Amino acid sequence: MDFSRRDFLKGAAATAATVAFTGVMSGCTAKTNAETPAPENAAVNTKWYDENYFKKPNPITNIAETIDVDVVVVGAGNGGCISAVSALDLGAKVAWVEQGAGVITFAGEIAALNSKIAMERYGVSYTEEERNKIVNDICRYASYENEQRLVKLWAENSGRTMDWFVDKMAAKNVDMFLETDLYETSTYTTPAVTHTVFKKGEFVEMGPNYMGSQLANPVWEQYADEMGVQKLFKHTAKQLIQDNNGKVTGIVVQRNEDEKYIQINVSKGVILATGGYSGNPEMMSALRYRDKDAIVNNLGGHGHNGDGIKLALWVGAAMDRNHAGGIAFNRAALDLDHHVGEPYSSGLSDIWWAGSQPWLKVNTRGERFMNEDGPYDFQINGGITQPDRYWFQIFDSNYWEDVNAFHTTICGRVVAAKGARNSEVLPGVFPCKNKSEFEGAFLNPGLESGRLIKADSIEDLANQLGIPAVEFARTVERYNELAAKGYDSDFGKTSRNIRPVIKAPFYGIALGNWLLCTFNGIRINTNMQAVTENGDGIEGLYVVGNDSGGFFANSYPQYYGGLAQGRTSCFARLAALHAVTDSIYEA
Ligand SMILES: Cc1cc2nc3c(=O)[nH]c(=O)nc-3n(C[C@H](O)[C@H](O)[C@H](O)COP(=O)(O)OP(=O)(O)OC[C@H]3O[C@@H](n4cnc5c(N)ncnc54)[C@H](O)[C@@H]3O)c2cc1C
């Protein structure tokens, strides 16, 4: 049987989607009094978001069982794994709640500054001045609508938390890689911060490599089991419990199997890490999520229903004020009859991983409209601002030479290089060593899906894509003139990346916005405690990962590869330290 890479990819997608979906569905229950809003909360909207949506439910009273622990961690993803093991490591009695059947295992890169492994094995370190520059650059991506103190906290503490991470993994035969093959453009710098785990002794220099949280998170689960965690997987967090002073003293969770409620009392605190709200379109609307209707793929949304954020809001925590909170790839392939604004899909078959290659981009009028080079969020912002809210990527038969010249890095990498992770990011998608690998991993599956269009002439390409042919031909001609000059006087693209579109056959694909996760969330202080509108910490309540806010706003600083998981890992450990010891510093 001829089993193509594309079939494999589809199969893997289906399996992954089924697992994720089953996990989510097993978390679904019939409406209970937990979901019924209390009548006294009738709404007069005083906030920028829809307060009605976040009405506090009646307290759950029909408790079937009660458990007493020091710390509860909610969520068994990247944040929850680290919080749970950290708290256990510090000697706390921990209950670990997860709606699904096991740890969640996507994401791979983790950004940290000045880890021992970076400094000692790879010779990479940053001075205080460089670190401050990095902090300010990250804040610039957020237009300073974030909390600089949190970014500084990450910059100063991610190294030592990574050291703990590395030591723990090393004891279980898992090693850490630092990406040092980084290419800069004339506009953006890319510091070497991206750490990824791999199986000790099994790293293949030119890949593909099996790396990331699919490897690390089962190891964290093993640690937690060994240290006697009270695991409540297939349980869904429903409500926090507060005392009269507002301190969080516990949580009510629901066992998925029989819908019974269990109250878990805590002596130290509850740590929420439920992964944001990217899977909850209603909540996105309630939070006025910017450009929600331009999302065309939402792989990663399953199970991310915003529960942690809701729980925290119900006990008086404050939400980030920024409405544009998500990481998104410019790699969602569109059917040509799709119209942005229609309900989005969420399959791997919709993904064109080469979408971040800085080839010529045109809008539906056939016009070039921006410098194609830059962080994927910026590319999306530019694209969805255009008529019809999507764009076309255009290239010619020199694609292999082009992608080698572009030398995109981190998760946008499509060409294998020394000093790069070369990991298999998704099944079947990995940085390639030669043209035929590239064709097998990217080009052919794109053509088979019917989304990548191939044509013998520019005019035919325009006709197949449905772009006005005359304008498109003019755009291509102008682009080729700039390429011949080696200088982009129109949009200032880095010279090495203006590559002519001259060699038939020609290719084009319609692309849109692929949401990965949300990142605006509950405001926290530098102890990782949720805060109220006036900035007071809520005792006993910690929020980390995509549920927490303050770190990002508007755009994701993609060139700090793995910053989402980097802040998640770092802050998940600091939250556990503070919950157990009252200090974010190790004794
Ligand atoms: C495909 C993909 C790839 C990514 N790759 C990277 C990367 O390489 N680097 C990077 O920095 N970032 C990456 N990200 C972003 C990534 O989401 C964050 O970095 C990080 O995972 C956030 O961790 P978290 O703990 O907040 O959430 P998650 O890791 O998503 O974990 C949340 C967990 O909470 C559980 N949960 C939800 N609600 C409840 C409830 N009510 N009760 C109990 N459990 C609940 C969920 O089932 C889930 O297991 C990627 C995202 C996606 C979608």
SS in 3 state form for 293-362? HHEEECCCCCCCCCHHHHHHHHCCCCECCCCCCEEEEEEEECCCCCCECECCECCHHHECHHHHCCCEEE
Q: Are 517 and 529 in contact (CB under 8 A)?
A: no
Residues 354 and 489 reside in one and the same domain:
yes
267 alpha carbon – ligand 1 mean position (Å)? 27
Range of the domain at 478: 328-515
Please work out whether the CB of residue 97 comes within 6 Å of at least one atom of ligand 1. Answer: yes
Please work out whether the CB of residue 158 comes within 6 Å of at least one atom of ligand 1. Answer: no
Please work out whether the CB of residue 273 comes within 6 Å of at least one atom of ligand 1. Answer: yes
Residues 308 and 318 reside in one and the same domain:
yes
Q: Are 40 and 482 in contact (CB under 8 A)?
A: no
Residues 386 and 488 reside in one and the same domain:
yes
543 alpha carbon – ligand 1 mean position (Å)? 13
Domain boundary among 497, 515, 533: 515
Residue 44 lies in a domain: no
Q: Is 201 left (phi over 0), alpha (psi -120 to 50) or beta?
A: left
Residue 41 lies in a domain: no
Residue 586 lies in a domain: no
User: In this structure, what is the dihedral angle of CA atoms 194, 199, 202, 203, given to the nearest 10 degrees?
Assistant: 0
Residues 419 and 500 reside in one and the same domain:
yes
pLDDT digit string, tens, across residues 28-82: 333 334 444 444 444 467 788 999 999 999 999 999 999 999 999 999 999 999 9
Please work out whether the CB of residue 366 comes within 6 Å of at least one atom of ligand 1. Answer: no
- Between CA 327 and CA 27 the distance in angstroms is 25
Domain boundary among 213, 235, 266: 213
Please work out whether the CB of residue 306 comes within 6 Å of at least one atom of ligand 1. Answer: no
400 alpha carbon – ligand 1 mean position (Å)? 34
Domain boundary among 193, 213, 233: 213
**Structural domain count of the chain:** 3
76 alpha carbon – ligand 1 mean position (Å)? 9
Residue 587 lies in a domain: no
107 alpha carbon – ligand 1 mean position (Å)? 8
Residues 497 and 439 reside in one and the same domain:
yes
DSSP secondary structure, 203-231, as one string: --TTS-B-BSHHHHHHHHHHHHHHTT-EE
Residues 72 and 143 reside in one and the same domain:
no
Residues near 193 by Cβ (< 8 Å), separated by ≥ 6? 111, 112, 113, 118, 560, 561, 562, 563, 566
- Between CA 479 and CA 396 the distance in angstroms is 13
Please work out whether the CB of residue 79 comes within 6 Å of at least one atom of ligand 1. Answer: yes
Residue 40 lies in a domain: no
Which residues of the chain are under the pLDDT cut of 70? 1-44, 346, 349
Residue 276 lies in a domain: yes
Please work out whether the CB of residue 75 comes within 6 Å of at least one atom of ligand 1. Answer: yes
Residues 364 and 463 reside in one and the same domain:
yes
Read off the tokens for 134.
């990095």
Among protein residues, the one whose CA lies closest to atom 3 of ligand 1: 107
- SS3 label, residue 371: coil
Residues 290 and 143 reside in one and the same domain:
no
Q: Are 69 and 266 in contact (CB under 8 A)?
A: yes
Residues 367 and 453 reside in one and the same domain:
yes
Looking at the DSSP bridge assignments, the partners of residue 251 are: 240, 264
- Between CA 213 and CA 103 the distance in angstroms is 10
Residue that the structure tokens 């965690």 belong to: 229
218 alpha carbon – ligand 1 mean position (Å)? 14
Q: What is the CATH number of the domain that holds 380?
A: 3.90.700.10
Residue that the structure tokens 């045109």 belong to: 362
Which strand (E) or helix (H) includes residue 238?
A: strand 235-242
Read off the tokens for 63.
């408790």
Residues 368 and 430 reside in one and the same domain:
yes
Q: Are 271 and 311 in contact (CB under 8 A)?
A: no
- Between CA 382 and CA 389 the distance in angstroms is 9
Give pLDDT, residue 28.
32
Residue 43 lies in a domain: no
Please work out whether the CB of residue 221 comes within 6 Å of at least one atom of ligand 1. Answer: no
Residues 474 and 334 reside in one and the same domain:
yes
537 alpha carbon – ligand 1 mean position (Å)? 24
- Between CA 27 and CA 461 the distance in angstroms is 47
Residues 55 and 93 reside in one and the same domain:
yes
Give pLDDT, residue 38.
47
546 alpha carbon – ligand 1 mean position (Å)? 7
pTM of the model: 0.93
Among protein residues, the one whose CA lies closest to atom 4 of ligand 1: 107
Give pLDDT, residue 346.
67
Q: Is 255 left (phi over 0), alpha (psi -120 to 50) or beta?
A: beta
Residue 561 lies in a domain: yes
110, amino acid identity: I
Please work out whether the CB of residue 109 comes within 6 Å of at least one atom of ligand 1. Answer: yes
Q: What is the CATH number of the domain that holds 226?
A: 3.50.50.60
586 alpha carbon – ligand 1 mean position (Å)? 26
Please work out whether the CB of residue 424 comes within 6 Å of at least one atom of ligand 1. Answer: no
Please work out whether the CB of residue 147 comes within 6 Å of at least one atom of ligand 1. Answer: no
Q: What share of the chain is helix, strand, coil (3-state, %, to 5)?
A: 35, 20, 40
